Structure 1
Amino acid sequence: MPSETTTRQWRIRPALPRLKLLGAAGMFALGILLAEGDLLRPVFGALGAALLVGWAIRDLMAPVRLAVDPEGITVPAGWTGRRHLPWSAVANIRVLHRPGRGFGGPALEIDTSDSLHLFSRMDLGVDPEEVAEALAAARPEPPDPDRSGPTLR
Protein backbone atom coordinates (compact mmCIF):
# COMPACT_ATOMS: atom_id res chain seq x y z
CA MET A 1 0.00 0.00 0.00
CA PRO A 2 1.37 3.47 -0.84
CA SER A 3 2.77 5.50 2.01
CA GLU A 4 1.54 8.80 0.62
CA THR A 5 -1.73 10.14 1.97
CA THR A 6 -1.77 13.15 -0.32
CA THR A 7 -3.75 13.66 -3.47
CA ARG A 8 -1.93 14.23 -6.74
CA GLN A 9 -3.74 16.13 -9.49
CA TRP A 10 -3.34 16.70 -13.20
CA ARG A 11 -4.96 19.71 -14.81
CA ILE A 12 -5.11 21.52 -18.09
CA ARG A 13 -2.48 24.16 -18.70
CA PRO A 14 -3.65 27.70 -17.84
CA ALA A 15 -2.89 28.89 -21.39
CA LEU A 16 -5.53 26.61 -22.92
CA PRO A 17 -8.64 28.54 -21.79
CA ARG A 18 -6.93 31.77 -22.83
CA LEU A 19 -6.32 30.38 -26.30
CA LYS A 20 -9.96 29.32 -26.54
CA LEU A 21 -11.11 32.81 -25.56
CA LEU A 22 -8.76 34.36 -28.13
CA GLY A 23 -10.08 31.94 -30.74
CA ALA A 24 -13.64 32.90 -29.84
CA ALA A 25 -12.84 36.59 -30.27
CA GLY A 26 -11.17 35.87 -33.61
CA MET A 27 -14.08 33.77 -34.82
CA PHE A 28 -16.58 36.48 -33.90
CA ALA A 29 -14.45 39.18 -35.55
CA LEU A 30 -14.10 37.12 -38.73
CA GLY A 31 -17.85 36.59 -38.84
CA ILE A 32 -18.39 40.35 -38.72
CA LEU A 33 -15.53 41.28 -41.05
CA LEU A 34 -16.53 38.77 -43.71
CA ALA A 35 -20.27 39.49 -43.49
CA GLU A 36 -20.51 41.69 -46.60
CA GLY A 37 -24.19 42.28 -45.95
CA ASP A 38 -24.91 38.59 -45.23
CA LEU A 39 -26.51 38.04 -41.82
CA LEU A 40 -25.61 34.34 -41.68
CA ARG A 41 -21.82 34.81 -41.39
CA PRO A 42 -21.91 36.93 -38.21
CA VAL A 43 -24.50 34.55 -36.71
CA PHE A 44 -22.30 31.53 -37.39
CA GLY A 45 -19.27 33.43 -36.08
CA ALA A 46 -21.17 34.29 -32.89
CA LEU A 47 -22.37 30.69 -32.44
CA GLY A 48 -18.86 29.30 -32.87
CA ALA A 49 -17.50 31.95 -30.50
CA ALA A 50 -20.17 31.09 -27.91
CA LEU A 51 -19.18 27.42 -28.05
CA LEU A 52 -15.52 28.27 -27.53
CA VAL A 53 -16.37 30.63 -24.66
CA GLY A 54 -18.45 27.90 -23.01
CA TRP A 55 -15.60 25.42 -23.41
CA ALA A 56 -13.14 27.94 -21.92
CA ILE A 57 -15.49 28.64 -18.99
CA ARG A 58 -15.68 24.91 -18.28
CA ASP A 59 -11.87 24.76 -18.29
CA LEU A 60 -11.70 27.68 -15.86
CA MET A 61 -14.36 26.23 -13.53
CA ALA A 62 -13.01 22.66 -13.50
CA PRO A 63 -9.34 22.68 -14.49
CA VAL A 64 -8.46 19.43 -12.69
CA ARG A 65 -9.03 16.51 -15.04
CA LEU A 66 -7.62 13.65 -12.98
CA ALA A 67 -6.68 13.13 -9.35
CA VAL A 68 -5.32 10.13 -7.46
CA ASP A 69 -5.22 9.28 -3.77
CA PRO A 70 -4.68 6.05 -1.83
CA GLU A 71 -8.39 5.16 -2.09
CA GLY A 72 -8.73 5.58 -5.87
CA ILE A 73 -8.95 8.10 -8.68
CA THR A 74 -11.22 11.06 -9.37
CA VAL A 75 -12.38 11.67 -12.93
CA PRO A 76 -14.66 14.29 -14.52
CA ALA A 77 -18.40 13.65 -14.45
CA GLY A 78 -20.67 15.89 -16.45
CA TRP A 79 -19.82 19.47 -17.24
CA THR A 80 -17.98 20.46 -14.03
CA GLY A 81 -18.63 17.54 -11.66
CA ARG A 82 -16.30 14.85 -10.43
CA ARG A 83 -16.65 11.15 -9.71
CA HIS A 84 -14.41 9.18 -7.36
CA LEU A 85 -13.62 5.64 -8.47
CA PRO A 86 -12.20 3.25 -5.88
CA TRP A 87 -9.21 1.19 -6.97
CA SER A 88 -11.39 -1.92 -6.98
CA ALA A 89 -13.48 -0.39 -9.80
CA VAL A 90 -10.48 0.35 -12.01
CA ALA A 91 -9.96 -2.60 -14.33
CA ASN A 92 -7.15 -1.30 -16.53
CA ILE A 93 -4.90 1.73 -16.98
CA ARG A 94 -2.91 2.01 -20.18
CA VAL A 95 -1.55 4.48 -22.69
CA LEU A 96 -2.83 4.29 -26.25
CA HIS A 97 -0.74 5.63 -29.10
CA ARG A 98 -3.15 6.96 -31.68
CA PRO A 99 -1.97 7.75 -35.19
CA GLY A 100 -3.39 10.78 -36.89
CA ARG A 101 -2.86 14.32 -37.98
CA GLY A 102 -3.60 16.93 -35.38
CA PHE A 103 -5.48 14.58 -33.05
CA GLY A 104 -2.90 11.81 -32.86
CA GLY A 105 -0.57 11.08 -30.01
CA PRO A 106 -0.65 9.25 -26.72
CA ALA A 107 -3.84 9.07 -24.65
CA LEU A 108 -4.31 7.74 -21.14
CA GLU A 109 -7.13 5.21 -20.95
CA ILE A 110 -8.73 4.32 -17.62
CA ASP A 111 -11.14 1.42 -17.98
CA THR A 112 -13.73 0.50 -15.37
CA SER A 113 -16.41 -2.12 -15.70
CA ASP A 114 -19.01 0.52 -16.60
CA SER A 115 -17.10 3.45 -18.13
CA LEU A 116 -14.06 4.40 -20.16
CA HIS A 117 -12.11 7.61 -19.49
CA LEU A 118 -9.66 9.01 -22.05
CA PHE A 119 -7.19 11.82 -21.31
CA SER A 120 -4.85 13.53 -23.75
CA ARG A 121 -1.75 15.57 -23.07
CA MET A 122 -3.96 18.67 -23.31
CA ASP A 123 -6.22 17.33 -20.54
CA LEU A 124 -3.40 16.36 -18.21
CA GLY A 125 -0.83 19.07 -18.86
CA VAL A 126 1.92 16.42 -19.02
CA ASP A 127 2.76 13.29 -21.00
CA PRO A 128 0.15 10.53 -20.45
CA GLU A 129 3.00 8.00 -19.98
CA GLU A 130 4.14 9.95 -16.91
CA VAL A 131 0.62 9.94 -15.46
CA ALA A 132 0.20 6.21 -16.12
CA GLU A 133 3.42 5.55 -14.19
CA ALA A 134 2.23 7.71 -11.29
CA LEU A 135 -1.13 5.91 -11.21
CA ALA A 136 0.59 2.52 -11.25
CA ALA A 137 2.80 3.60 -8.35
CA ALA A 138 -0.18 4.88 -6.37
CA ARG A 139 -2.32 1.80 -6.94
CA PRO A 140 -2.20 -0.65 -4.04
CA GLU A 141 -1.10 -4.18 -4.77
CA PRO A 142 -4.02 -6.61 -5.11
CA PRO A 143 -4.10 -9.36 -2.51
CA ASP A 144 -2.24 -12.48 -3.58
CA PRO A 145 -4.69 -15.41 -3.71
CA ASP A 146 -1.84 -17.86 -3.02
CA ARG A 147 -1.04 -16.11 0.27
CA SER A 148 -4.51 -15.53 1.67
CA GLY A 149 -3.50 -16.28 5.24
CA PRO A 150 -2.22 -19.04 7.44
CA THR A 151 -3.07 -22.55 6.42
CA LEU A 152 -4.29 -24.98 9.05
CA ARG A 153 -3.23 -28.62 8.69
Structure 2
Amino acid sequence: MTEMSGPVLRWRVRRDLVVVKAVATLVLAALAVLSVDDPRGMILAGVAALVTAVLTLRDVLVPVRLSADGEGLVVVKGFAGSERLAWNAVERVRVDSRTRFASRTELLEIDTGEAVYLFSRFDLGAPCQEVADELCAYRTGT
Protein backbone atom coordinates (compact mmCIF):
# COMPACT_ATOMS: atom_id res chain seq x y z
CA MET A 1 0.00 0.00 0.00
CA THR A 2 1.11 3.57 -0.63
CA GLU A 3 2.61 5.42 2.35
CA MET A 4 0.32 7.83 4.19
CA SER A 5 1.10 10.86 6.36
CA GLY A 6 -0.50 12.17 9.56
CA PRO A 7 -3.59 10.68 11.20
CA VAL A 8 -5.11 8.07 8.91
CA LEU A 9 -8.74 7.04 8.49
CA ARG A 10 -9.26 3.53 7.10
CA TRP A 11 -12.27 1.65 5.83
CA ARG A 12 -12.02 -2.09 5.34
CA VAL A 13 -14.03 -5.15 4.48
CA ARG A 14 -15.64 -6.57 7.61
CA ARG A 15 -13.92 -9.73 8.82
CA ASP A 16 -17.20 -11.58 9.28
CA LEU A 17 -17.96 -11.14 5.56
CA VAL A 18 -14.56 -12.57 4.68
CA VAL A 19 -15.34 -15.60 6.85
CA VAL A 20 -18.76 -16.02 5.19
CA LYS A 21 -17.13 -15.93 1.74
CA ALA A 22 -14.50 -18.47 2.82
CA VAL A 23 -17.17 -20.82 4.18
CA ALA A 24 -19.22 -20.39 0.99
CA THR A 25 -16.11 -21.28 -1.03
CA LEU A 26 -15.65 -24.49 0.96
CA VAL A 27 -19.32 -25.45 0.68
CA LEU A 28 -19.35 -24.83 -3.08
CA ALA A 29 -16.12 -26.80 -3.54
CA ALA A 30 -17.64 -29.69 -1.56
CA LEU A 31 -20.75 -29.53 -3.75
CA ALA A 32 -18.56 -29.67 -6.86
CA VAL A 33 -16.79 -32.76 -5.55
CA LEU A 34 -20.06 -34.41 -4.53
CA SER A 35 -21.60 -33.69 -7.95
CA VAL A 36 -19.29 -36.02 -9.86
CA ASP A 37 -22.32 -37.87 -11.28
CA ASP A 38 -23.85 -34.60 -12.55
CA PRO A 39 -21.36 -32.84 -14.88
CA ARG A 40 -23.45 -29.67 -15.18
CA GLY A 41 -23.85 -29.40 -11.42
CA MET A 42 -20.16 -30.07 -10.92
CA ILE A 43 -19.18 -27.34 -13.39
CA LEU A 44 -21.65 -24.86 -11.94
CA ALA A 45 -20.56 -25.49 -8.34
CA GLY A 46 -16.89 -25.50 -9.38
CA VAL A 47 -17.15 -22.16 -11.16
CA ALA A 48 -19.08 -20.67 -8.22
CA ALA A 49 -16.40 -21.99 -5.82
CA LEU A 50 -13.66 -20.44 -7.96
CA VAL A 51 -15.41 -17.06 -8.09
CA THR A 52 -15.99 -16.95 -4.33
CA ALA A 53 -12.39 -18.08 -3.75
CA VAL A 54 -11.09 -15.18 -5.87
CA LEU A 55 -13.33 -12.69 -4.04
CA THR A 56 -12.21 -14.09 -0.68
CA LEU A 57 -8.56 -13.89 -1.72
CA ARG A 58 -8.98 -10.23 -2.66
CA ASP A 59 -10.54 -9.51 0.72
CA VAL A 60 -7.62 -11.23 2.47
CA LEU A 61 -4.92 -9.55 0.36
CA VAL A 62 -6.44 -6.05 0.38
CA PRO A 63 -8.86 -5.69 3.29
CA VAL A 64 -8.49 -1.90 3.46
CA ARG A 65 -10.35 -0.47 0.48
CA LEU A 66 -10.07 3.24 1.26
CA SER A 67 -7.72 5.33 3.42
CA ALA A 68 -7.51 9.06 3.98
CA ASP A 69 -4.85 11.31 5.47
CA GLY A 70 -3.90 14.98 5.30
CA GLU A 71 -2.45 14.64 1.81
CA GLY A 72 -5.26 12.69 0.16
CA LEU A 73 -6.72 9.26 -0.36
CA VAL A 74 -5.47 5.79 -1.16
CA VAL A 75 -8.04 3.75 -3.09
CA VAL A 76 -7.98 0.14 -4.19
CA LYS A 77 -7.38 -0.17 -7.91
CA GLY A 78 -7.72 -3.39 -9.85
CA PHE A 79 -7.57 -6.72 -8.08
CA ALA A 80 -5.08 -5.90 -5.33
CA GLY A 81 -3.38 -2.65 -6.31
CA SER A 82 -3.81 0.84 -4.91
CA GLU A 83 -3.61 4.39 -6.13
CA ARG A 84 -2.78 7.58 -4.26
CA LEU A 85 -5.08 10.55 -4.95
CA ALA A 86 -4.13 14.01 -3.72
CA TRP A 87 -7.03 15.95 -2.20
CA ASN A 88 -6.78 18.56 -4.97
CA ALA A 89 -7.35 15.78 -7.54
CA VAL A 90 -10.64 14.78 -5.91
CA GLU A 91 -13.42 16.77 -7.56
CA ARG A 92 -16.34 15.23 -5.73
CA VAL A 93 -17.25 12.75 -3.02
CA ARG A 94 -20.90 11.74 -2.98
CA VAL A 95 -23.25 8.86 -2.30
CA ASP A 96 -25.27 7.44 -5.17
CA SER A 97 -28.51 5.93 -3.81
CA ARG A 98 -30.91 3.86 -5.86
CA THR A 99 -34.07 2.02 -4.94
CA ARG A 100 -35.22 -0.90 -7.00
CA PHE A 101 -37.83 -3.51 -6.12
CA ALA A 102 -37.99 -2.25 -2.51
CA SER A 103 -34.22 -2.69 -2.15
CA ARG A 104 -31.96 0.31 -1.58
CA THR A 105 -28.41 0.34 -2.90
CA GLU A 106 -25.80 2.93 -1.98
CA LEU A 107 -22.34 3.46 -3.45
CA LEU A 108 -19.69 5.90 -2.32
CA GLU A 109 -18.46 7.70 -5.41
CA ILE A 110 -15.07 9.41 -5.51
CA ASP A 111 -14.73 11.41 -8.73
CA THR A 112 -11.36 12.75 -9.90
CA GLY A 113 -12.60 13.98 -13.27
CA GLU A 114 -10.48 11.33 -14.99
CA ALA A 115 -11.73 8.33 -13.00
CA VAL A 116 -14.58 7.40 -10.71
CA TYR A 117 -14.00 5.03 -7.79
CA LEU A 118 -17.03 3.22 -6.39
CA PHE A 119 -17.28 1.54 -2.99
CA SER A 120 -20.20 -0.31 -1.43
CA ARG A 121 -20.92 -0.61 2.28
CA PHE A 122 -19.48 -4.13 2.01
CA ASP A 123 -16.17 -2.69 0.75
CA LEU A 124 -16.09 -0.06 3.48
CA GLY A 125 -17.53 -1.89 6.47
CA ALA A 126 -19.66 1.18 7.19
CA PRO A 127 -22.63 3.02 5.67
CA CYS A 128 -21.59 4.97 2.57
CA GLN A 129 -23.11 8.26 3.77
CA GLU A 130 -21.20 8.00 7.04
CA VAL A 131 -17.93 7.51 5.14
CA ALA A 132 -18.71 10.40 2.77
CA ASP A 133 -19.43 12.69 5.74
CA GLU A 134 -16.18 11.65 7.47
CA LEU A 135 -14.17 12.21 4.27
CA CYS A 136 -15.66 15.66 3.71
CA ALA A 137 -15.08 16.65 7.36
CA TYR A 138 -11.52 15.32 7.27
CA ARG A 139 -10.75 17.09 4.02
CA THR A 140 -12.01 20.46 5.27
CA GLY A 141 -10.63 20.00 8.77
CA THR A 142 -14.00 20.35 10.52
The answer, yes or no, to whether TM exceeds 0.5 is yes
**Cross-structure match for 2:133:** 133
Give the Cα–Cα distance (whole angstroms) in 1 for the partners of residues 78 and 36 of structure 2: 40
1:105 Cα deviation (Å)?
A: 2.4
1:15-57 Cα distance to aligned partner (Å, 9 max, x none)? 1111111112222333444x37222321221121011111101
Structure 1 residues not aligned, in runs of 5+:
142-153
1:79 Cα deviation (Å)?
A: 1.0
- Structure 1 window deviating more from structure 2 (100-109 vs 14-23): it is 100-109
Give the Cα–Cα distance (whole angstroms) in 1 for the partners of residues 24 and 113 of structure 2: 38
1:71 Cα deviation (Å)?
A: 0.7
- Code of the residue aligned with 2:28 in structure 1: it is M
- Structure 1 window deviating more from structure 2 (126-135 vs 35-44): it is 35-44
1:14 Cα deviation (Å)?
A: 0.3
TM-score (norm 1): 0.80
Residue 10 in 1 paired to residue 11 in 2?
A: yes
1:87 Cα deviation (Å)?
A: 0.9
**Cross-structure match for 2:50:** 50
**Cross-structure match for 1:65:** 65
Give the Cα–Cα distance (whole angstroms) in 2 for the partners of residues 94 and 76 of structure 1: 17
Identity of aligned residues (%): 34
Which has the higher Rg, Structure 1 or Structure 2?
1
Q: Per the alignment, in what secondary structure is the counterpart of residue 38 of structure 2?
A: coil
Q: Per the alignment, in what secondary structure is the counterpart of residue 139 of structure 1?
A: helix
**Cross-structure match for 2:75:** 75
Query: 1:103 and 1:61, CA in 2 relative to 1: closer, same or farther beyond 3 A?
Result: farther
- Code of the residue aligned with 2:94 in structure 1: it is R
Q: Per the alignment, in what secondary structure is the counterpart of residue 44 of structure 2?
A: helix
Number of aligned residues: 137
Q: Per the alignment, in what secondary structure is the counterpart of residue 79 of structure 1?
A: coil
- Code of the residue aligned with 1:121 in structure 2: it is R
Query: 1:88 and 1:118, CA in 2 relative to 1: closer, same or farther beyond 3 A?
Result: same
Give the Cα–Cα distance (whole angstroms) in 2 for the partners of residues 71 and 39 of structure 1: 54
- Structure 1 window deviating more from structure 2 (96-105 vs 19-28): it is 96-105
Query: 1:103 and 1:60, CA in 2 relative to 1: closer, same or farther beyond 3 A?
Result: farther
Contact kept, 8 Å, 1:70 with 1:140, in 2: the verdict is no
**Cross-structure match for 1:97:** 97
Give the Cα–Cα distance (whole angstroms) in 1 for the partners of residues 101 and 67 of structure 2: 29
Structure 2 residues not aligned, in runs of 5+:
none
**Cross-structure match for 1:107:** 107
